[in-house]
Structure 1
Amino acid sequence: MLSHLCLGTNQFARAYGFYTALLGELGLVEKFCDLQKPWAGWMTPGVARPLFVLGGPHDGQPAAPGNGQMTALLAGSRAQVDRCHRLALAHGVLCEGPPGLRPHYHANYYGAYFRDLDGNKLCVCCHEEA
């Protein structure tokens, strides 16, 4: 369904460090990084798409998070959701909802919500039973 997802940042080096740690915890690997552009992309090992791309906006204007937009990243376990949330908070991001069940979505939905260093809303979630 998705080819790639791009998130903008105003401080690439700082955001790159955060996303390298977060996406690494989720098992993604870096496909490319160009500090001059600046942008970087991550992928599931051995799978070309979808790509998660981080970079400065192409139009040279400041990056700004959208209202009502959220990027949800899939975790393989509830423990992985917990680890990602702790990792995110250790990088200084804003918690938007601690890890926990959200049965109003479905019986096994376990997620954590936070805003990255540029204010982009993220979720890390698992749909599997404990």
Structure 2
Amino acid sequence: MPIDHLSLPVASVSRARDFYLKALAPIGYKLFREIRPDGSTPDSEPYVVGLGTGLKPDFWLQPGKPNPGAHVAFAVNSTAEVDAFHTAALEAGAKDNGPPGLRPHYHKGYYGAFIIDGDGYNIECVHHDFSANQ
């Protein structure tokens, strides 16, 4: 079975939410859920945010001490989506950690792009063309 969801600790949930809504929009991610502490107001800092593409969130952001160097990869259906993710992430304030392109040292059809987000996470978007391995 695939991984159901992942949660990352971030220094500011609202800042990370805003970044990921922009960076992941080209690959279909949207806001599913914001959970705030009891008694808080609608404009207070969310406690937990869930993003996803399907019927439920699979990428969660929560307050905590970031773990720079952690690596998360989002699989997509085309190289164009990888390119669009990379552009959107840089426009949203990420640092480039590897431009879109083939990474044949992983496998012949591995096309990925890497960025570093505001908390130091290494975020990747990847398309696997397994027909290239034939």
Contact 1:29 1:45 (8 Å CA) reproduced: no
Contact 2:85 2:125 (8 Å CA) reproduced: yes
Q: Aligned AA for 1:56? A: P
Q: What is the rounded CA distance, in whole Å, between the counterparts of 2:36 and 2:101 in structure 1?
A: 36
Q: What is the rounded CA distance, in whole Å, between the counterparts of 1:35 and 1:13 in structure 2?
A: 11
Q: What RMSD, in angstroms, separates the aligned Cα atoms of the two structures?
A: 2.0
1:97 corresponding residue in structure 2: 98
SS in 2 for 1:119: coil
Q: What is the rounded CA distance, in whole Å, between the counterparts of 1:18 and 1:52 in structure 2?
A: 13
Structure 1 residue runs without a partner (length 5+) = 58-62
TM-score, with structure 2 as normaliser: 0.80
Q: Aligned AA for 1:75? A: V
Over the matched positions of the two proteins, sequence identity in percent amounts to 34
2:78 corresponding residue in structure 1: 77
**Which of 1 and 2 has greater Rg?**
2
Structure 2 residue runs without a partner (length 5+) = 38-45
TM-score, with structure 1 as normaliser: 0.83
Q: What is the rounded CA distance, in whole Å, between the counterparts of 2:128 and 2:4 in structure 1?
A: 22
Q: What is the rounded CA distance, in whole Å, between the counterparts of 1:64 and 1:5 in structure 2?
A: 14
Moved more, 29-38 or 94-103: 29-38
